[in-house]
Amino acid sequence: MLGLYIHIPFCRQKCFYCDFFSIKYDENQIIKYISALLNQAKQFSGAKIDTIYIGGGTPSVLFCGQIEKLIGSLHKIFDLSNLKEWTFELNPESADDEKLKFLKRSGVNRLSIGLQSCNDDDLRFLGRVHNFKRFVEVFESIGNVGFKNTNIDLIYGLPARSIKDWQKILGRALQFDCSHLSLYPLSIEKETLFYQKGISVDENMQNDLYQNACKILSQNNFIHYEISNWAKDGKESLHNSNYWRNYEYIGLGASAAGYFKNKRYKNVENIERYISSLCHCGQESSIEQEEYIDDELRKIESIMLGLRLLNEGTAIENFDNGREKILNNLLEQKMLYRDNDRIKLSKDFVFLSNSIISQFMK
Ligand SMILES: C[S@@+](CC[C@H](N)C(=O)[O-])C[C@H]1O[C@@H](n2cnc3c(N)ncnc32)[C@H](O)[C@@H]1O
Ligand code: SF4
């Protein structure tokens, strides 16, 4: 299994909570950026790809012509004969019928839509460009165009919101026939407007909202397959599951990470430097960090990633070299459990997942 992640670091405007690498949309730069990204892609020419994820940023800010150049070239550079899943991230304000039809024709078979909330006051508070009505229109077009595999992203635990507010939002989101939901607690990150403004969140409240969501989603036939992700049966994201299975993937674009031939790498987190490193006269490397993953590190990473997959867990053989003691302790406390040759996180302790998983990092 080999994945391909493509980062499009352009957005209409910066949301107040977001610290992902993205800048304001700039058409001139986008053209140069796509050429640079395709030059990096050629370094992996012929690779047989199983899943593709085009994320951001906001990939849907690209015009059809730009998407066509990108997708058309990917078909030529890579071997896509075995492709199983192709996801494209959409923001409601920049999705339209023409783009949706074009994506469908190009082989994209999964869409991930950043809704964040069904409440317009929340959307304004978060600094989103769209309102709920716009999302409803886009979701209808998505259905008309024939996409059956759709994810919706929601953010919960905004300040001064009650459990009732959240239930209303989740209930409204469930009225749409989506096959996958990603729910994230609002986190206040450095370098964001929320951080500068001193906005804070109530983590106990966020935990209550999470537990509530777990209950509601299981009543609605969603399988809780990863800490923050729920899917209808068979609609789990294959691309993201393969990250958690610690499989390899190629990462293209500024700031994108990759894991290929036993090396993890990260591309430069700067658009001008990324472009100049990949033009014909480029002197610098497009990669700013690289690390060889030996067997020991691979096992630690497999534990950290695999425990996130609630129904799959990770192989027991990863718990050697001194990790047996930590494992036995966590098994005794019932925070982890053994299922044949797999070790899994107990559902009652998902809210402590960070502290459980971090014990294996020492
Ligand atoms: C990098 S964003 C890209 C998706 C797309 N550009 C969008 O905004 O809809 C992926 C998702 O991470 C979540 N996210 C980003 N920053 C977050 C934060 N500080 N707290 C909680 N969720 C966050 C949002 O739900 C977002 O849809
Ligand atoms: S949340 Fe999405 S749209 Fe908003 S700034 Fe971040 S990447 Fe861009």
Summarize the confidence of residues 228-237 as an average pLDDT.
Answer: 98
* Helix ranges restricted to H, 127-237: 132-145, 163-174, 193-196, 203-219
Of 209, 193, 198, the residue nearest 157 (C-alpha)? 209
Which residues approach ligand 2 with their CB closer than 6 A? 11, 14-15, 18, 20, 22, 56-58, 91, 114
- pLDDT interval class at 263 (50, 70, 90): very high
Atom of ligand 1 nearest to the CA of 128: 8
Long-range contacts of 117-125 (CB under 8 A, 24+ apart): 117/154, 117/155, 117/158, 117/169, 118/168, 118/169, 118/172, 118/173, 119/165, 119/168, 119/169, 122/158, 122/161, 122/169, 125/16, 125/158
Percent of the chain predicted with pLDDT > 70: 99
Judged by DSSP in three states, 131 sits in: coil
pLDDT at 74: 98
pLDDT at 311: 98
Which residues approach ligand 1 with their CB closer than 6 A? 17-18, 20, 56-58, 89, 91, 114, 116, 153, 155, 184, 186-187, 189
In whole angstroms, what is the distance from residue 22 CA to residue 12 CA? 10
Atom of ligand 1 nearest to the CA of 188: 19
3-state secondary structure 41-81: HHCCCCCECCEEEEEECCHHHCCHHHHHHHHHHHHHHCECC
pLDDT at 360: 93
- pLDDT interval class at 280 (50, 70, 90): confident
- What distance in angstroms lies between residue 28's CA and the mean position of ligand 1's atoms? 25
pLDDT at 293: 98
Residues 188-217 pLDDT 10s: 999 999 999 999 999 999 999 999 999 999
Summarize the confidence of residues 81-101 as an average pLDDT.
Answer: 97
- Bond from prior residue into 114 cis (ω within 30 degrees of 0): no
Summarize the confidence of residues 34-49 as an average pLDDT.
Answer: 97
In whole angstroms, what is the distance from residue 324 CA to residue 321 CA? 7
Count of residues in the chain: 362
- What distance in angstroms lies between residue 15's CA and the mean position of ligand 1's atoms? 9
Summarize the confidence of residues 114-134 as an average pLDDT.
Answer: 98
Atom of ligand 2 nearest to the CA of 11: 8
Closest-approaching ligand to the CA atom of 156: 1
- What distance in angstroms lies between residue 262's CA and the mean position of ligand 1's atoms? 29
Task: Assess whether pLDDT exceeds 80 at residue 138.
Answer: yes
Domains, the chain, ordered by start: 2-243 (3.20.20.70), 299-361 (no CATH)
In whole angstroms, what is the distance from residue 249 CA to residue 50 CA? 10
**Are residues 316 and 309 in contact, defined by beta-carbon separation less than 8 angstroms?**
no
In whole angstroms, what is the distance from residue 55 CA to residue 127 CA? 19
Summarize the confidence of residues 291-302 as an average pLDDT.
Answer: 97
In whole angstroms, what is the distance from residue 330 CA to residue 164 CA? 35
pLDDT at 181: 98
Our mutation pick for probing the ligand 1 site, out of 153, 201, 240, counting the most ligand atoms within 8 A of Cβ, is 153
- What distance in angstroms lies between residue 163's CA and the mean position of ligand 2's atoms? 25
Atom of ligand 2 nearest to the CA of 114: 2
Go through 127-142 and write b for each residue having 16 or more CB atoms within 10 A of its CB, e for each that does not. Answer: bbebebebbeebbebb
> What is the CA angle 43-51-271, rounded to 5?
50
The pLDDT mean for the chain works out to 97
End-to-end CA distance of the chain: 29
Our mutation pick for probing the ligand 1 site, out of 20, 191, 210, counting the most ligand atoms within 8 A of Cβ, is 20
**Are residues 159 and 202 in contact, defined by beta-carbon separation less than 8 angstroms?**
yes
- What distance in angstroms lies between residue 208's CA and the mean position of ligand 2's atoms? 26
Check residue 265 and report its DSSP letter: E
Taking CA atoms only, the protein residue closest to ligand 1 atom 15 is 18
> In one letter, which amino acid is 7?
H
Distances (CA, A) of 359 to 162, 201, 222, 294, 324: 33, 25, 30, 20, 12
- What distance in angstroms lies between residue 232's CA and the mean position of ligand 1's atoms? 21
Our mutation pick for probing the ligand 2 site, out of 8, 10, 15, counting the most ligand atoms within 8 A of Cβ, is 15
- pLDDT interval class at 26 (50, 70, 90): very high
pLDDT at 281: 76
In whole angstroms, what is the distance from residue 225 CA to residue 229 CA? 6
**Are residues 61 and 94 in contact, defined by beta-carbon separation less than 8 angstroms?**
yes
Closest-approaching ligand to the CA atom of 12: 2
pLDDT at 284: 86
- What distance in angstroms lies between residue 81's CA and the mean position of ligand 2's atoms? 32
pLDDT at 18: 98
